[in-house]
């Protein structure tokens, strides 16, 4: 089963990542079934997809007909049993190992084709831990997309010790040939390539701010104007989500026990307070006015 033969895609989770993955697959001609148990989250995901596709049409990236066709290929449901005939499933639920393990246990029961690819969009959790929740670990591969999925081209392809060579090749072919993404391969270590490099940088910026060494504006401006980064580390943490950043940091620390992966106290307190960044309207910056201002 090559990339072109994968026509039925399942996505579990309809948050920022799940909705973006569903949109990209539908825009590339795949039939997509999205499962989200929370009806409210499902409605928000539907709205997010519709808004994104309308934006692509307005920007001339899609015609009106292509936009309507893409929307017509997406089915949003609350029953994971609807994924029974999927040829590839992407798990994109919250970055928490117990939740993801439960999804893979369920997928193993409902996905009928023994050669279907069961993939995870996890940004940090070792794929082996998810694969062992199934009776077909050789078919489990990491496919880590980046936010926003319709814009950023990268996908990390992550193989566990038990992933078959065929499954790895098919997953990469799907990402590259079917979706037009750029794939890089990573060993199955917490954080993979990008987050193993990125998270210590973000945590260092938070510690710098927490210690009073520099203001958020100066930290971010320094990296944008001095290093040509498209956005500073604190603004990027707000975009990623402080909860996601801390979850990835915890996964890295659990695996490596390196101090550079330990979440700073300020990050933990902000997550406890629900100040999760752009998605909640406030993190290191306040987004309530429509433009980012330093949160006081």
Containing H/E element for 13?
none
Phi and psi (nearest 5°) for 189? Answer: -125, 150
80, 248, 283 from 200: Cα distances, Å: 36, 10, 18
A 10 A CB-CB count for 20 gives 26
156 is catalytic: yes
Which regions of the chain does DSSP assign to beta strands (E)? 8-12, 31-35, 74-77, 88-91, 117-120, 140-145, 154-159, 182-186, 285-286, 293-294
Q: Are 229 and 223 in contact (CB under 8 A)?
A: yes
Q: What is the 3-state secondary structure (H, E, C) of 250-263?
A: HHHHHHHCCHHHCC
Catalytic: which of 156, 160, 186, 251?
156
Among this protein's residues, is 211 annotated catalytic?
no
Q: Provide the CA 46 distance to its chain's centre, in angstroms.
A: 17
Instruction: Choose, from 121, 123, 124, 160, the residue flagged as catalytic.
Output: 123
Of residues 19, 160, 163, 195, which has the active-site annotation?
A: 195
Indicate if 144 belongs to the active site: yes
Taking every pair of C-alpha atoms in the chain, what is the biggest distance, in angstroms?
56
Give 265's strand partners.
none
Told to judge if 123 belongs to the known catalytic residues of this protein, a careful annotator would answer: yes
The catalytic residues are 123, 144, 156, 195
């Amino acid at each position: 089963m090559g990339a072109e033969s994968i026509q039925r895609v399942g996505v579990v989770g309809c948050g920022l990542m799940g909705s973006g993955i569903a949109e990209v697959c539908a825009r590339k001609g795949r039939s997509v079934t999205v499962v989200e148990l929370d009806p409210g989250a499902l409605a928000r995901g539907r709205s997010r997809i519709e808004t994104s596709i309308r934006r692509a049409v307005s920007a001339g990236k899609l015609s009106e007909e292509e936009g309507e066709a893409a929307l017509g290929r997406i089915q949003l449901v609350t029953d994971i049993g609807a994924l029974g005939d999927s040829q590839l499933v992407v798990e994109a639920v919250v970055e928490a190992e117990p939740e993801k393990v439960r999804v893979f246990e369920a997928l193993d029961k409902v996905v009928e084709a023994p050669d279907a690819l069961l993939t995870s969009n996890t940004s940090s959790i070792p794929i082996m831990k998810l694969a062992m929740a199934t009776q077909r670990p050789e078919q489990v591969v990491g496919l880590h997309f980046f936010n926003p999925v319709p814009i950023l081209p990268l996908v990390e392809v992550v193989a566990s010790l038990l992933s078959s060579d065929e499954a790895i090749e098919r997953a990469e072919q799907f990402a590259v040939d079917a979706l037009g993404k750029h794939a890089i391969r990573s060993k199955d270590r917490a954080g993979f390539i990008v987050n193993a490099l990125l998270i210590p940088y973000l945590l260092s910026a938070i510690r710098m701010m927490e210690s009073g060494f520099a203001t958020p504006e100066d930290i971010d401006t320094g990296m944008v104007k001095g290093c040509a980064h498209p956005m500073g580390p604190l603004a990027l943490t707000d975009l990623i989500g402080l909860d996601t950043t801390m979850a990835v940091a915890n996964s890295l620390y659990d695996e490596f026990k390196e101090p550079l992966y330990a979440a700073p106290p300020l990050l933990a307190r902000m997550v406890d307070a629900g100040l999760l960044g752009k998605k909640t309207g406030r993190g290191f910056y306040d987004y309530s006015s429509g433009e980012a201002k330093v949160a006081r």
